[in-house]
Amino acid sequence: MTDVEKLSEILSHSTSAVFFGGAGMSTESGIPDFRSATGIYNQKLHKTFSPEEMASYEFFLRHTEDFFEFYRARFVYLDAKPNAGHLALAELERRGILSAVVTQNIDGLHQQAGSRTVYELHGSIRRASCVKCGAKYGIDFVMSNKPVPHCEKCGGVVKPDVVLYGEQLDGEVIANSIRAIAAADTLIVGGTSLIVYPAAGLIDYFRGDNLILINKTETHADEYAKLVIRDSIGVTLARAVELLA
């Protein structure tokens, strides 16, 4: 039995599977990651500041115009489309096999693919809100109001709903993610190196029998996994769904 066949077999007996995903899920849709050798954080984009500094809340406050120029160029990929992996997860949810997606990605592609229960640990480029009055805006408002988007109600800066360095993760999102993972019978971890905390620590709440790792490089959780697959997430998940009866 191949690894994909084993995965499909496990999923066929699952009723509360959870997918925990990272940047590798989005790279297959053409969105660059942040931490690989060719990722955004290893590029020299500014003569004074590093990309990591520019992705911080302090930089947003102190250099707001430069932040938005960086954000629009490096965080937002509106032409990206859901890949086969996103679509496979949405299908698993429709079939009552997958109960939730927990993602570190901010691109909104899981929802575009049709997934309904998605917990976005690091927020989403699709939403924004005024830092003063809390008024809500969409991505088009942020992209079209240059150089800095200001609230139409109070004039405050409209900040994208993404978690920057120096900001706390949303407590409700964390709680919902922990609840889903703790109740899962299968946990599929895909496209993440599991080195970004506190998000990576969430898998420690899993108590089920089937921990599955789909990643092209080794992670610290491999030794605990029932199944480790070193292949494309999209190809692997799509094939596993095809094999389901």
- List the one residue out of 185, 173, 201, 205 whose CA is nearest residue 98: 185
Helices and strands in the chain: count of H runs, count of E runs: 10, 9
**Amino acid (1-letter code) at residue 52:** E
> Can you read off the two tokens belonging to residue 137?
């805006």
8 A C-beta contact, residue 245 and residue 12: yes
Point out the catalytic residue in the list 13, 86, 122, 220: 122
CA–CA distances in Å: residue 3 to residues 101, 196, 202, 240: 22, 27, 25, 9
Task: Determine the Cα angle at 31 with ends 174 and 119, to 5°.
Answer: 15
Query: How many angstroms separate the CA atoms of 220 and 224, rounded?
Result: 9
Residue 53, burial from CB neighbour count under 10 angstroms (0-12, 13-18, 19+): middle
- List the one residue out of 83, 150, 163 whose CA is nearest residue 119: 163
Query: How many angstroms separate the CA atoms of 2 and 139, rounded?
Result: 42
Q: Is 122 a catalytic residue?
A: yes
43 sits in the region (left: phi over 0; alpha: psi -120 to 50; else beta) called beta
Point out the residues that are catalytic.
122
